Amino acid sequence: MAMANLVVGLTTFFVLIALLAIIGYQLMCLADLEFDYTDPYYDSASRINKAAVPEFVVQAVFCVVCLSSGQVFLCFMSLPYLRYNIKLYRTKKHLVDVNDLYDL
């Protein structure tokens, strides 16, 4: 039983690290745009859009791992964010528009 808890804890840890890495990548793309390292806005938008769906998948995996391991509190804490991600994906508002980057 202790080994199973260790495996679940490590899995949750690495899933959270992956989620932070994806969000950090998106922030770095926006920072590159701010400091004019990337000229066209289209390149920044396409890079950020490529990372949107994997971010949603990693967050859903985190909820499933927490629920299957009995960490109900963590699962319930992340369910509103998962619901918001699903709503964004269904309404196709999860993608960054090139015109929105001009406003930043």
The CB-side HSE value for 96 (13 A sphere, CA atoms) comes to 23
Opening angle at CA 100, ends 98 and 101, nearest 5: 70
47-89 pLDDT, tens digit per residue, is 888 889 999 999 999 899 888 888 889 889 999 999 999 999 9
Do residues 55 and 18 lie in contact, with contact meaning Cβ atoms separated by under 8 Å? no
Query: Strand, coil or helix: what is 38?
Result: coil
Instruction: Specify the pLDDT at position 101.
Output: 65
- The structure's pTM equals 0.79
